[in-house]
Amino acid sequence: MADRRTQLVTRVRGMLAEAVGSARTRLGAAQDELATARERRARIRRAAEAVPARVGAERDRRLAEIDARHAARLADLARRAADAARREAPGAASADWSGWRPTPATRAEPPGALRVGTVAVAPDEPVPALVPLLDAGHVHLSGDDRAGTEAVVSALLLRAVGRTEPGRVRLVGYDPEHLGGGLAGFAPLGTAGLLTFVGPGGLGRLLDDLVEQIRRINETVLAGEHGSLRELAAATGRRPEPWRVAVLLGGDELSRHERGQLDRVVRTGASCGVHLVVRGMSLPDGPTVTRVRMAAGGAHVGDLPVRLDPPPPATLVTETCRMVAARVNAGPTPTPFTDLLPPVDEMWREDSAHGLTAPIGEGPQGRPVLLTLGDYPPHALIGGPSGTGKTNLIFAWIGALASRYSPAELEFYLLDFKEGVSFARFAQGRRDPSWLPHMRLVGINVNTDREFGLALLRFLAEELRRRADAAKRHEVTKLAELRAVDPTGHWPRIVAVVDEFQMLLAGRDAVAREAADLLEDLARRGRSQGIHLVLASQDVRGIEALWGRPALVAQFTLRIALPKALRILAERNDAAQSLPRHHAVVNAESGMSEGNEVARIPSAGDWDTWSDLQHRLWRMRPPDAAPARLFDGDAVPRLADAPDFQALTAPETGTLRAPVALLGEIIDVQARSATLRLPRAPGRNLAVLGTRVDEACAVLDAAARSLARQHRPGGARFSIACLDPDADPVARALYDDLDDAAWYDEETVAELVEETADGLGAPGAAGTPHYLLLFAVDAAAGALAARVGGRTGLERLRRILHDGPERRTHVLAWWRGVARMRADLGGSGARTDQIGAWVALDTHGGELGTSLYPGTGGPDWYPRPWRGLFFDRAVHRTGQTIIPYGPSR
């Protein structure tokens, strides 16, 4: 039993132990679970505790980010708005007063809106608050803050004045309560007529006037072609009307009429540059009205809250107005020369078959005033006292024509009789290689060389003949028809401009007579052959030279009168007397009042303006274009440059039948040389007459050098005798340079004469040409007086003169006076026919009479420096003025 009990106990114990063990195990597991759960709970709790802080931080971060982005965007927008505002209102339209100065817009550029304050959009980026006024609308101011409104008015007006060319804004003030006190700073503008006030009863008249201006501008300036002055300016670059700003500062209730007129101005003024700045009277609502309100809570422009700028400093206002008035009082600023030019891609597009038309300036309504040369009117007269702008007008006209017509359509010949070189720029110069491709000839400093004017007229007369012959051959009468039947021919229109042409017609001598005859013929017949004359004169005498020839004057139907010009227009037409500076009356009706058109002439004369155009046209020139011939009366030509000298050559064999001696340059259009032919014929000798050493030496030097060029070495003899020490350098240089030259002086000159005279009869004497170059030969009279072998040297000299030329022995001698020459030839009654040609220097025409020159009384010759009169009885009917060539070395 005990065992069983023991066994039972043991079993129970075992079972209990097992139970305890498993309970323990379970407990351990439960405890683990508990710990894990606790830990989880703690973790979860910890996590749960962390959540709100993180979310909050994230939310704050996101909010801050949005804030920053917003601020940056706002700043960016504000910056862009400010940039746009500054573009819309550049320079003086929006600059701060501290650095403010006028910055006028160019004419095609809109003046833009005007700043009155700032809009506070972003703290660091104030945006200008702009008010559209000029070309845009009207401003209405309201509010009790009088100082504030005055500040806005001054700011608007000063900015408007500073944003436009001086004189382009005209202000009218109506201030019945303070009688203009509010605009006091602008008073200096009044001195230039840019600010006027109307008195307390004058509002109606002021409004009537504004309405009338609007009507006139619409009708005559815009004329249905442009919607507004702003469009006109953008399209044409011209702004013919000023801006008119009426500042109306309160007053009584408006009458019905005034109200009606005010409403009209509000509706229609902006397109015509008529604007209102109004306080103390109502304006109707409309898209052109900007309202600026000043209330206790702040100012508003339209609906935008605005911080108004301080008023401009008083000194800035008065100084600016004073400067503007001074500029206006100094005269209108010239319109730019480029106004006269077509766009670059339209240059040289015009056809001149029927005429030449180009603008010369701007008319009062801003339209171009055109000048035409053609069948009608064919020729022009330009007149105006010195300094009124004739030269400038000629430049402007030439530029306007040359930019429209190519050199194949138009050629210019230009002659300036007054001193000065301004026209030289048309020809190629040392400073600037360009030339005007249309220019064929420029004559400057020709004041004493009227022959050059004559030469030009002769040249044109020849061209006229050529054209008339061609027209006849083609059985047509006019240039347009000739061009139609001969399309490949070169028939440009020719415009010949002669400035100070009265010089050409002055006096009663042969030059004046021939010039007037040629002018008359050219004026009458040139019209149909495309040859046009433009004559300019500062002097009424110039015109009077024409009055004696009514047929000539009648052809000049185009008249251009500069300020104060007399007698250019018809007798009762005094329009030129009241012309402002830089204007001209253009009249294509022979000066009758009905034909008057007033033009404002641009400034075209200054070098920079001109050279831009000339360079452009020069680059466009045809490849074979040659520069214009420049004749400068003050220049001394050089033999080596003379085309005729360059063309001289020696024959390969034998001797030329008639070598030529070049004596100087002829005053003509082609720069030809005066030539003396020396065939084997009686009288082929040359006498140079006068006391001027340099010119005399120059003539003999050129003659000898040109002759030498026509002989092979050894082919001719040159005997040089110099009897005046002043001539020595030239004679010596000649002796050194010529191959077969012999030298003689006072001691040996008798030998030369003896040997030469005695050799004339020798057999074969006529083989080699022999030229005797005798410098101051009259000084040899003593040496030649001695009798040798029964004859004096002078007798031998006469023999050489007489018999030499037929034996190729020619005397080229300088006598220092006609009387001395006659003495050497045998006395005052002696024959002179052995002197077949002469060049007179300072020898008066009268001395050259008897037997040296056809007719009685001698030639019309008034000696002048570095000129000579050449007469060759074998070829000339009248003397020919020459310019000796300058020293060869």
Ligand X SMILES: Nc1ncnc2c1ncn2[C@@H]1O[C@H](COP(=O)(O)OP(=O)(O)OP(=O)(O)O)[C@@H](O)[C@H]1O
Using CB under 6 A as the criterion, which residues of the chain lie in contact with ligand X when the complex forms? Answer: 334, 384, 386-392, 538, 582, 601-603, 605
| Closer to ligand X by Cβ: residue 138 or 418 | 418
Q: Is 387 assigned to a binding site?
A: yes
**Which H or E run includes 609?**
helix 607-619
CB of 610 to ligand X, least distance (A): 11
CB of 600 to ligand X, least distance (A): 7
Q: Is 390 assigned to a binding site?
A: yes
Q: Distance (Å, rounded) from C-alpha 452 to C-alpha 631?
A: 9
CB of 334 to ligand X, least distance (A): 3
Q: Is 385 assigned to a binding site?
A: yes
Strands lying side by side in the sheet with 660-666: 673-677, 660-666, 880-883, 868-872, 837-840, 686-689, 809-815, 770-775, 717-722, 741-744
811 secondary structure, DSSP code? E
> Quick one: how far is CA 836 from the chain centroid?
51
| Closer to ligand X by Cβ: residue 451 or 499 | 499
Q: Is 389 assigned to a binding site?
A: yes
| Closer to ligand X by Cβ: residue 538 or 673 | 538
Burial zone of 472 (CB within 10 Å; 0-12 exposed, 13-18 middle, 19+ buried)? exposed
Residue in 171, 158, 149 with CA at minimum distance from that of residue 279: 149
Q: Is 372 assigned to a binding site?
A: no
- Pairing type for strands 274-279 and 114-122 reads unpaired
Q: What is the largest CA-CA distance in the chain?
A: 216
CB of 316 to ligand X, least distance (A): 30
CB of 706 to ligand X, least distance (A): 39
Phi–psi pair at 40, nearest 5 degrees: -60, -45
| Closer to ligand X by Cβ: residue 104 or 793 | 104
CB of 501 to ligand X, least distance (A): 12
CB of 560 to ligand X, least distance (A): 12
Residue in 842, 864, 878 with CA at minimum distance from that of residue 445: 864
538 secondary structure, DSSP code? S
Handedness of CA 635, 641, 645, 650 (dihedral sign): positive
Q: Distance (Å, rounded) from C-alpha 889 to C-alpha 886?
A: 9
The single residue listed with the structure tokens 């390969």 is: 652
Residues constituting the chain: 889
Residues pairing with 394 in the sheet: none
- Pairing type for strands 717-722 and 741-744 reads parallel
CB of 294 to ligand X, least distance (A): 46
Distances (CA, A) of 284 to 267, 272, 289, 589, 610: 9, 19, 8, 51, 52
Q: Is 679 assigned to a binding site?
A: no
| Closer to ligand X by Cβ: residue 547 or 607 | 607
Strands lying side by side in the sheet with 596-600: 368-374, 355-362, 596-600, 583-587, 558-561, 380-383, 531-537, 493-499, 410-416, 439-444, 629-632
Q: Is 388 assigned to a binding site?
A: yes
The single residue listed with the structure tokens 């010239």 is: 334
Q: Find the radius of gyration of the CA atoms of the chain.
A: 48
CB of 604 to ligand X, least distance (A): 7
The single residue listed with the structure tokens 């003046």 is: 111
| Closer to ligand X by Cβ: residue 392 or 406 | 392
CB of 425 to ligand X, least distance (A): 13
Helical spans, DSSP H, in 330-440: 390-404
CB of 448 to ligand X, least distance (A): 17
3-state secondary structure of 493: strand
Angle, helices 693-708/728-737, rounded to nearest 10 degrees: 10
| Closer to ligand X by Cβ: residue 204 or 385 | 385
CB of 415 to ligand X, least distance (A): 14
| Closer to ligand X by Cβ: residue 113 or 601 | 601
CB atoms within 10 A of CB 753: 31
Helical spans, DSSP H, in 655-766: 693-708, 728-737, 749-759
Handedness of CA 742, 747, 753, 756 (dihedral sign): negative
Nearest-CB residue to ligand X? 389
Q: Distance (Å, rounded) from C-alpha 586 to C-alpha 597?
A: 5
CB of 509 to ligand X, least distance (A): 25
- Pairing type for strands 410-416 and 439-444 reads parallel
3-state secondary structure of 199: coil
Q: Distance (Å, rounded) from C-alpha 784 to C-alpha 750?
A: 6
Binding positions are: 384-391
Binding positions for ATP are: 384-391
